[in-house]
Amino acid sequence: MRPARHCFSPAVFFVNRISKRRRECHFHGKLEAKILSQYSPCSFSGILLGSPSIGQSTSLALWILSLSYPRIGPSADRSRGAILIDNSPSLRPGSYYAKELKQVLPPEVFERNPWQLLWLIPHLAIIAASISALLLTNIHWGFRLLLSAAIGHSFGCLMYLAHEILHGTVVKNGTLQNWLSGICMLPYCISPEHWKAWHNRSHHCHTSKTGRDPDSFGDVYMNRKAPFAKFTTKLAPGSGYLRSWFFMGFWFSFHALVTLFVHSKVFEYWKPAQRRKQLALFSAMVAFWAGVGYAVGPYNFAFIYLLPMVVANCVQMFYISTNHLFCDETQDENDPLINSLTVSTPRWVSWLHLNFGYHVEHHVMPYANSKHAPKIQAALKEHFGTRYHEMPLQQALRVLYETPPVHLSRQELVDMRTGIVYSTLGPNGELPHVVDQVAVPVRPRKRVKNRPAAVDVPVTETSPEDVKQNRAA
């Protein structure tokens, strides 16, 4: 039996190349990646060097270190499944968790699940039957509302299916993925490439990173400098504005327009020709629904499409809005156990919604089909202790509307109107609560990079009564 490997933290120098277009970090060469892969990501005193001209000396330094020091972190020859519970406060990328879990999860977790396509049959049947009943019968308006709700729910469930398809967890063929997901997303007027650029590349790669994550409401600086960000924040849950109570019923469709016309242009999702193609596809889908409206008349169109889209938006946003908004901001390292939250629902609801609430699991392994999310959840809970965050959906919705959406610092959220500061979801699952109050207009805090997740900003407990006294003073 080989002796246990001792821990050591050598100063490792490596090159950090920045891609101008995507602004993503890469190792300078294969040697660095090979050597660094033998060490735990939190075991280094890493120094980022931006000049590629020192690549040879960097490779030499890493090679010398690999000879001079024994490997640290997880042992290379450990038995399958021998992972210690990890409650370290250090931020880690999703790839770290995925690499660890691959050793304990069964191989079928990583297989595609084409049987999920069978969900097309009941949902398309519900939509077709409900539309036929609305057009061909003169039923009471109350039943018309129920049929509209059924259509909207099926619209939302088809979006869940499109989400799985475009992550490649259902079918492999790219053309088939585009056609199937295009049918599912037609009610939202979202093309497959639009969704992949918005969700797969921007959201997953830059989760909770101000500006880069299209699903984040950003920080104080962004809300002070960008008028459009200030406008959208007033629509968000927890903003304190009356209009925020309508958020669930329209935001997903509205946000699709924002990503298509604003965010995609600022961050160059596509080349000019590709952008024109996406705009043409969007125009074609809008024209299709306009034609439907013209054919059936405004009254029927309201029950066939407009009211169902309110329900469909709610079906999406009940999950999406609770997954990240009151978690830590992660500017420097995209750690899915720190910036994401899984919301639990009754088992039959999870089954009906394709396990869409298992969001931490999805960010750790987006290439695993949602059918296997419970297995991934069990492994995360077993091996990563309290780093894993989960909350019942109804509780998450309540917290969402009690907590402002704008980050003052990585672990602080602030009400831009009153200056009241809340903590984010705590490292051990502590609910957000009032911790401070700052002067209005709110100004950004000075940021310090690379702080451990659990010790970002000194937070002192402040009661609501103290805040009221401060406001009165």
Residue 54 burial (10 A CB sphere; 0-12, 13-18, 19+): middle
**Domain presence at residue 440:** yes
| pLDDT over threshold 70, residue 455 | no
Element (H, E) at 17: strand 13-18
262 and 135 fall within a common domain: yes
| Residue with the larger pLDDT of the pair 67 and 327 | 327
Read off φ and ψ for residue 19, nearest 5 degrees: -80, 125
356 and 422 fall within a common domain: no
193 and 254 fall within a common domain: yes
**Domain presence at residue 83:** no
Structure tokens at 353: 């919604």
CB 92 within 8 A of CB 340: no
**Domain presence at residue 357:** yes
**Domain presence at residue 6:** no
203 and 329 fall within a common domain: yes
**Domain presence at residue 97:** no
What number is the average pLDDT over the span 445-454?
A: 57
| pLDDT over threshold 60, residue 63 | no
Residue 17's pLDDT band (boundaries 50, 70, 90)? very low
Number of structural domains (the chain) is 3
289 and 432 fall within a common domain: no
169 and 263 fall within a common domain: yes
| pLDDT over threshold 60, residue 454 | no
pLDDT for 34: 40
Q: Which of 111, 211, 125, 198 is nearest to 163 (CA)?
A: 198
Give the C-alpha separation, 155 to 186, whole Å. 9
70 and 114 fall within a common domain: no
pLDDT for 113: 96
Give the C-alpha separation, 397 to 391, whole Å. 10
191 and 147 fall within a common domain: yes
Q: Which of 204-208, 295-299, 330-334 has the lowest mean pLDDT?
A: 330-334
| pLDDT over threshold 90, residue 1 | no
Q: Which of 265-274, 364-373, 443-452, 455-464 has the lowest mean pLDDT?
A: 455-464
The DSSP-derived string for 191-232 is -HHHHIIIIIIIIHHTTT-TTT-TT---BHHHHHH-HHHHHH
**Domain presence at residue 385:** no
| Residue with the larger pLDDT of the pair 104 and 36 | 104
Q: Which of 27, 62, 78 is the last residue in one of the domains?
A: 78
50 and 138 fall within a common domain: no
Three-state DSSP class for residue 327:
coil
**Cα dihedral angle (430, 431, 435, 440), rounded to 10 degrees?**
150
pLDDT tens, position by position, 288-320: 999 999 999 999 999 999 999 999 999 999 999
123 and 230 fall within a common domain: yes
**Domain presence at residue 89:** no
285 and 332 fall within a common domain: yes
55 and 117 fall within a common domain: no
**Domain presence at residue 211:** yes
pLDDT for 421: 96
pTM: 0.77
| pLDDT over threshold 60, residue 409 | yes
| Domain around 122 | 109-380
pLDDT tens, position by position, 250-266: 999 999 999 999 999 99
In the block, tokens 């959906």 appear at 393
